[in-house]
Structures are given as C-alpha cells and as structure tokens.
Chain A
Amino acid sequence: MSEKVLLQMKNIHKRFPGVYALKDINFELHAGEVHALLGENGAGKSTLIKILGGIYTADQGEIIIDGEKAEIHDVLSAQKNGIAIIHQELVLVPHMTVAENIFLGREPKVAGFVNQDKMRQEAQALLDDYDMHIDADTLIKDLTIAQQQMVEIVKAISFNSKILVMDEPTSSIADKEVAFLFTTMRTLTAKGVGIIYISHKMSELEEICDRVTVMRDGTYVGTEVVKNTSKDELIAMMVGRELENYYTRDYQNATEVILKCVDIADGNMAQGASFELRKGEIIGFAGLVGAGRSEVMKCIFGLTKNYTGKIYLEGKEVKITSPVQAMKAGIALVPEDRKLEGLYKVQSVQYNSTIEVLDQFIKGIIVDQKKEDEITQKYIDLMATKTPSREQVIGNLSGGNQQKVMIGRWLATNPKVLILDEPTRGVDVGAKSEIYSIMNELVKTGMSIIMISSELPEIINMSDRIYVMAGGKVKGCLNHDEVTQESIMQLAAV
C-alpha cells in the first residue's frame, strides 16, 4: 500500500430541508488501498458517496483529487475525474449483451454505425484481464448477480477510473463469489486504484480493508488502520457507546416439541428436510445461498402448495396449503427480502402493521379505528420502532425500523412459531442488537423461533441448536455449546 493520497474530501457540509446530513466530514483515500466507510443507517455514508459521485453537490467543502481541486457538479464530471460508483442495485440493461453494456453510450463507431467486432473484442480483453470467465456476448439477464457485479466493475475500470466506490457489494452474493470479488479487488489495488468499501459486515473488514473511517449522525468520528483496531472498538465508534451485550440470550431448558417436520420437499430446492422445534427455543438454520432453507420454510408457511412431507404442530399432523391456514395454526414467517416480499412502501406504518390482522378490527364495513391504533401502537412500543407517527410512510424509515415493523406485523398474528428469514439483513448495528434482545424476550414468553441466517456469528450466538442445510437436506444439527464457525462450514460445504 503506497502512501500516495489519491482523494481528499475536506470539511464537507450538506444540508437538506430539515436535516443537517453532513457536518464537517473529512475523508482521505490512498492509492492502492481498500478504505471502508462504516456507520449505521442514516450516518451519512450514502450522502457522502453521492456528493463524490456528482449526484448531490456539497454546500461547503472541497474535493481534491491527485493534489488538484476537482469540480464535481454532475455524474459526468465525476466520471471525468476518474470516479466510478458501483451501486447496491445494479444498473445494467438486462436484455443487452455484456459488451454492449460495458460500452453503453460510448460505442466504438465506424461511419456512424456501431463497430460490433471491435466492441466485442475490447470487452472480452477487459474481461480476460481479470480472469472473469464471462463471454462478452452473453446477455446480462443470463448472468448470476455476482457475475453482473463483475461486469459493473469491468465497466468502471474501462473508464480508467482511479477511485472505485462499492456499496454493499456482498449483500446478495454467495461466499464463494465473495472470495473471487476480493481477489479482483486486490488485483485492482495492486494497479493503484483506490477502493471505498461500504458494508455492514464487520467480518469482511478484517479480510479486505486496510483502513476504516467511521461516521455517525452525519459527523466524522475517526479513521483507523484496521489491523490496529478491534470489532468492539469500531462498534463503539459507530453507535457512540459501548454495546454491553451485543447478543442477548438466556438459554432455558426446552423439552416440549412444538413443531416437527419430516422430509419436507418441494420437488426443487427443498429435498427432504427434517427437524424439530421445542417450545421456548430458537433454532438456527445455517447453510450457503441456495441450500434450500427459505424454500423449506415456504412449504411450512403454505406458500408452496405442492410440497411433500409431514408437519406436526403440537403433536398433531397439520396440512398447510396457504399462508392464511399457517397463520391460523399459529405459524408466522417474516420474509427474507424486506423490499420484495414484505413492504408496502408507499403506505403508512399503520397500514403495514395491521394488514394481516384486519379481522381483529374490521367487521363487515365497521372499522374500529381505536382498536387499529392500539394494535399498531402496541407493536411499535414492543419493537421499540422509531417513527415520527403511525401515519409515517414506511419507505421513509431506516432499514432497521422497517424490519421492526415487519416483525411486529407478524407478531400481531399471535404466532406460536415465528420463522425469521434473515432478520437482520440490511439492518444497522444498534437495531440488530435490539432485535436480538427482543427475540430473547419472545422465547421467554413461550414463543418458539426459527431463524434462517447467513451471518454465522449471529446464528451461533442466538440459537439453542443449529441445523445446517446443504443441497436441500439437513446435514446435521449442532448444539449451541459445541458449535464453531468451522463445524458449520464443514457441514454446509457441498
């Protein structure tokens, strides 16, 4: 890692109507380093990145690139200054080829027509440079998410970018692909590119990042060399206080089996999974992406209608073929992808809280408004959701608070068995810790929880027992007092 300063953002201020989004932020990026930008949701990371990318303009402060003051006032001038941003949501055109996407808007031309051959060759050369094993003629829609990300990176490089911003690049790709992503990032830094890396996953910091800058509530907290700091120290910087108990868990002696599933299969991703859940217990489901964990849960919740296998609830066999039946039987499922499967984004917190329990306060055309308000408030209080009012549009809340509303929505159905699929994905550290302690409280009252999670520390610290799945089957069950990350990974590897 060289000490050459590539980028300096000095004393950046940004105000929005009613919000002082960035207060005197300083940020520095060296050539050849991976520099993590860390902070809870709402800390101002994305605002800072948007200023760098030319989407917003700073009210005060300056940006210095290679020792010279840079004028960035729109996306194009950011590009000209060698800045490329890879957003969390990929922005490729699905029905065009890889080559066409890489050269979109600047296609090599011959007599006014696109020179297809030249474009394809140049794109392929770029892809091969980074050992990507992607054919430049493939349509984007036929690539995996991870491969699409690689194409985005190649596209960024082809602009001769020196500064690369990656916004949560690992949030939607499997571990194996993460390793390849990291290798590619190392190839880039060796060439002198500086990478700004945004992620919620602390474990990745140690693996890939050289330095880390922490932001909190729109202010600059500090910059540390990753090797010289610890996870606890960073979390303390992020939340502004020591989180005494990040994970809260009081294990109790659970004996009574409440849910027993035998050979659950959907003829596709789920290939015959069997497990038991006891009353007052949290069981974890670990495994790689595509191991069939969510698919098994979808069978139990009645979303997959043609499943085989047997489900016993409190000793009696039940046949569940719709979510309504599942909820009646006392099973609730908080889905994996909040945005896609859970949120009614333009509606209020109240609407989002009560949509599954309308029966409790609507009789025919008589709406008991007081009852609805009570239900909503009860779960706002229980989940400690931070919202200005019940009428607030849910899309304006932070990811953590949205997730709390989601969990509250399904708790309102009074489940005996609560299935949480990736309950803390895209949730900031403070809210994560709160969700853990709520889970702990819930099982103390006799509820039983199934948690699917790809975050090993969370699954190890929160579960009584951990089922590991691979290839649609349960490969083993580990007790919380004997489990390690290694023992899980051994079972999970196909």
Chain B
Amino acid sequence: MTRSKTITKSTLSSKATKKVKIYFKDNLGIIVAFLILCIFLSVNPATSNSFFTTKNLFNVLRQISTNLYLACGMTMVIILGGIDLSVGSIIALSGCIAAGCVSRYGMPIGVAIIIGVLVGLLVGMFNGLVISKTTIPPFIVTLATMNIAKGLAYVYTGGSPVRVVTKEWQFIGAGYIGPFPAPVVILVVVLIITAIIMNKTKIGRHMYAVGGNQQAAEFSGINVAKVKFFVHAFSGAMAGLAGIVLASRMYSGQPTAGDGSEMDAIAAVVVGGTSMAGGSGKIGGTIIGGLIIGVLNNGLNLMNVNSFWQYVVKGVVILLAVFLDYIRNKKSR
C-alpha cells in the first residue's frame, strides 16, 4: 500500500521534472538572455544596489503585469495566426468608462470594474464576430476597432482625464494584498486561467489546430468560427482588465492611456517564441518574453539611460532574443 503510493508519487514528480526540462529546453535562448540581463544588472555598479531589492523586483512585476494581461490574449490570437491591434485602445476606453462609472455616476467600485471588463469583452466580441464570419484579415478588423475604441474614449472624456481620488479606487492598481502588489496577484490568477485554457481544455487544443491549418481543422469537425470568436473575446476582456488596473494606478481614466501598448504585448509574445505564422506557441514563453522587456525597461531607468535611447536598446534586445532562438532552431534542423 505505502509502496504503491511512493511509486505513484515518484512517477508524478518525474513527470513534473520532465515538464520542467522540456520547458527549459524549449525556451533556452530567452531564458539565457533573461538571466544574462539579470546578472548584468546585479553586478553592474550603477544598478547593483538598486536592482536586486524586493521593492524594485515587485515594482518590475507591477509594471509588467498590465503588459502580460494583454500578452495572455495576444498569445492566443497570434497562435490563431492573427493579431489584435485594438487592445491598446481598449485600455483607454475601459479605463475611462470604469473611472466615469465611479466619479460621474457614483457606482460602487466592484460594479465599475465589471463594467470596464465588459467594455473590453464587447469590443473583443465584435472583433471576433467580424473575423469569424468574414474573411477580412484580423489586422484590418482590429486596426478599425483600434481607431473606433480610441475615438470613443476621446468622445466620452472630451479629451481630458476622468479623475477618481478615492483610496478604494487605487487599490486594484497600486494596493497590496499581503506583501504582494495587487496587480501581481491578479496577474498570477490571469496566468493560471490562461495556462489552463490553453493546455487543459478542448478549445485550447482547437486553437492550435485552427492556427496551424484551418482547412484541416474544418475536416476535423472543429467549430472554427467559435474558436476565433472566443479568442478575440478573451483578448478584449484581458485588455479591459488592463485598462482598469492602469486607470487605478494613475488615479484617472485617460484617453491617451495604453497608446502603443499592443506593440509591447506583441513583442512579449514574439520574444517568447510564439510564431507569427500561427499554430505554435506557449504561454510559458510569453511570460519570459514579458519579463525580459520589463526588466530591460527597469534596468535602463535605473541606469538613467536617456528615454530616447531606451527605444533603440529595446528594439535591439527584441531582435537579439528572437535571433538566439532562430539560430538554435536552424541548428537543430
């Protein structure tokens, strides 16, 4: 009895180590890049005092959390072979409306949060509806909704921030749950949900099929339209969530919030090894991709690098990280 128990335990743990091994093998290039970056920042005299402190590391995690919410949806969208350009504008729209719900209509914060996520979900569902029912490329559809959502955010606010100055409002973006920043706790929950959807559910498997070979997916009896609709709706909802967290951190819903953040999300996904051609990719890679970009931003700030130059460095690092994996893949072939 006890013996059989230990056996199952050991096979379980060996399975787990196997999974960890595969994870490291798949992501070796970017993990190495990430570690080099961290070691550099811990050793470099300009940052060694400030980088490896709990405060700073939590700070980094807080900063990357909104990008990773987006990246969770974006990973699925890119696995489908598509792209979602509208997420940055959804951040602005959902943030402004949620803030407006509290400051203009005096709604409870919980309700405002739900409405903010629903705003994102609605835009995402609209994207999903058009993309699944027509053959208009996702790039065009989401380019259009990107402008529509941004425009609506400006219309709603008249161009100026919607301020919310209650302490409760700041909790979700700037508060702490125990010792952990609230956005980081939310991030962990979001990542777990995303990982479960992608790895454990039927629709998760179906995403890879639709992105890898849509015609084959139809022969396999997969409801292609449903998968596309779900993925875009999910991406929209994630962006809605990101919008609220950002608006909370900035004490206001701002129509300029989230500008260009779709590109950071795409960068995290691509650095994480997901192929733009669709059909392959893992959320585990995206997490490291997001970490690289976050730590890099943080390091450059700590080193007082001119913000104009930061763009250049970021671009080079994105290219290098992807290049490492390219070389590795080429060799293994």
Which residues does A use to contact B, with CB under 8 Å?
303, 322-324, 326-327, 333, 335, 340-347, 351, 355-356, 358-359, 362, 364-367
List 14 contacting pairs A-B, 8 Å CB cutoff, sorted by A: A323-B220, A324-B223, A335-B219, A340-B215, A343-B216, A344-B213, A346-B212, A346-B280, A355-B209, A358-B202, A358-B205, A362-B200, A365-B196, A367-B199
In-complex Cβ contact of A341 among B219, B223, B279, B280 (8 A): B219
Instruction: Report whether B196 and A341 are in contact in the complex, using a CB–CB cutoff of 8 Å.
Output: no
CB-CB under 8 A from A359, the residues of chain B are 202
Instruction: Report whether B212 and A344 are in contact in the complex, using a CB–CB cutoff of 8 Å.
Output: yes
CB-CB under 8 A from A333, the residues of chain B are 219
CB-CB under 8 A from B201, the residues of chain A are 362, 364-365
CB-CB under 8 A from B205, the residues of chain A are 351, 355, 358, 362
Task: Pick the most buried of A346, A366, A367: most chain B CB atoms within 10 A of its CB.
Answer: A346
What is the bound-complex CA distance between A340 and B216, given in angstroms? 7
Instruction: Report whether B221 and A323 are in contact in the complex, using a CB–CB cutoff of 8 Å.
Output: yes
CB-CB under 8 A from B216, the residues of chain A are 335, 340-344
Q: A323-B220, A358-B202 are in contact. Are A344 and B215 (CB under 8 A)?
A: no
Instruction: Report whether A356 and B221 are in contact in the complex, using a CB–CB cutoff of 8 Å.
Output: yes
What is the bound-complex CA distance between A169 and B308, given in angstroms? 56
CB-CB under 8 A from A322, the residues of chain B are 221
Chain B residues numbered 183-226 whose CB sits less than 8 Å from any CB in chain A = 196, 199-202, 205-206, 208-209, 212-213, 215-216, 218-223
Q: A303-B219, A323-B219, A324-B221 are in contact. Are A344 and B209 (CB under 8 A)?
A: yes
In-complex Cβ contact of B213 among A343, A356, A358 (8 A): A343
What is the bound-complex CA distance between A59 and B221, given in angstroms? 48
CB-CB under 8 A from B213, the residues of chain A are 340-345
Kindly report which residue of chain B lies nearest to residue A337, judged by CB atoms: B215
What is the bound-complex CA distance between A327 and B220, given in angstroms? 9
How near does chain A come to B11, taking the closest CB pair, in angstroms? 11
Enumerate the 3 nearest inter-chain pairs by beta-carbon distance, A residue then B residue, closest first: A323-B221, A324-B221, A344-B212
Contact with A along B130-170 (1 / 0, CB 8 A): 00000000000000000000000000000000000000000
Which residues does B use to contact A, with CB under 8 Å?
196, 199-202, 205-206, 208-209, 212-213, 215-216, 218-223, 275, 279-280
CB-CB under 8 A from A323, the residues of chain B are 218-221
CB-CB under 8 A from A355, the residues of chain B are 205-206, 209, 220, 222
Kindly report which residue of chain A lies nearest to residue B221, judged by CB atoms: A323
CB-CB under 8 A from B208, the residues of chain A are 344, 347, 351
In-complex Cβ contact of B202 among A343, A346, A362 (8 A): A362
Given A303-B218, A340-B213, A355-B222, 7 more A-B residue pairs with CB atoms under 8 Å apart are: A303-B219, A323-B218, A341-B215, A344-B216, A356-B221, A362-B202, A365-B201
- Contacts between chains A and B (CB distance < 8 A), count: 66
How near does chain B come to A19, taking the closest CB pair, in angstroms? 12
CB-CB under 8 A from B222, the residues of chain A are 355
In-complex Cβ contact of B212 among A303, A345, A356 (8 A): A345
Q: A344-B213, A351-B208 are in contact. Are A365 and B280 (CB under 8 A)?
A: no
Kindly report which residue of chain B lies nearest to residue A396, judged by CB atoms: B333
What is the bound-complex CA distance between A184 and B213, given in angstroms? 36
What is the bound-complex CA distance between A211 and B219, given in angstroms? 42
Task: Pick the most buried of B215, B218, B221: most chain A CB atoms within 10 A of its CB.
Answer: B221
How near does chain A come to B19, taking the closest CB pair, in angstroms? 11
How near does chain B come to A154, taking the closest CB pair, in angstroms? 32
How near does chain B come to A414, taking the closest CB pair, in angstroms? 14
What is the bound-complex CA distance between A359 and B203, given in angstroms? 11
CB-CB under 8 A from B218, the residues of chain A are 303, 323
What is the bound-complex CA distance between A322 and B220, given in angstroms? 10
CB-CB under 8 A from A343, the residues of chain B are 213, 216
How near does chain A come to B250, taking the closest CB pair, in angstroms? 35
CB-CB under 8 A from A324, the residues of chain B are 221, 223
What is the bound-complex CA distance between A367 and B198, given in angstroms? 12
CB-CB under 8 A from A351, the residues of chain B are 205, 208
In-complex Cβ contact of A327 among B196, B199, B221, B279 (8 A): B221
What is the bound-complex CA distance between A355 and B280, given in angstroms? 15
How near does chain B come to A47, taking the closest CB pair, in angstroms? 14
Instruction: Report whether A346 and B219 are in contact in the complex, using a CB–CB cutoff of 8 Å.
Output: no
Task: Pick the most buried of B196, B208, B213, B220: most chain A CB atoms within 10 A of its CB.
Answer: B220
Task: Pick the most buried of B196, B209, B213: most chain A CB atoms within 10 A of its CB.
Answer: B213
Kindly report which residue of chain B lies nearest to residue A16, judged by CB atoms: B333
CB-CB under 8 A from B202, the residues of chain A are 358-359, 362
Instruction: Report whether B220 and A356 are in contact in the complex, using a CB–CB cutoff of 8 Å.
Output: yes
Task: Pick the most buried of A344, A356, A364: most chain B CB atoms within 10 A of its CB.
Answer: A344
What is the bound-complex CA distance between A327 and B222, given in angstroms? 12
Kindly report which residue of chain B lies nearest to residue A354, judged by CB atoms: B205
What is the bound-complex CA distance between A324 and B218, given in angstroms? 10
Kindly report which residue of chain A lies nearest to residue B278, judged by CB atoms: A346
How near does chain B come to A323, taking the closest CB pair, in angstroms? 4
What is the bound-complex CA distance between A333 and B280, given in angstroms? 25
Kindly report which residue of chain B lies nearest to residue A336, judged by CB atoms: B219
What is the bound-complex CA distance between A366 and B199, given in angstroms? 10
How near does chain B come to A295, taking the closest CB pair, in angstroms? 14
Kindly report which residue of chain A lies nearest to residue B196, judged by CB atoms: A365
CB-CB under 8 A from B215, the residues of chain A are 340-341
What is the bound-complex CA distance between A324 and B222, given in angstroms? 8
How near does chain A come to B39, taking the closest CB pair, in angstroms? 31
Instruction: Report whether A344 and B219 are in contact in the complex, using a CB–CB cutoff of 8 Å.
Output: no
How near does chain A come to B51, taking the closest CB pair, in angstroms? 37
What is the bound-complex CA distance between A340 and B209, given in angstroms? 12
CB-CB under 8 A from B200, the residues of chain A are 362, 365-367
Kindly report which residue of chain B lies nearest to residue A358, judged by CB atoms: B202
CB-CB under 8 A from A365, the residues of chain B are 196, 200-201
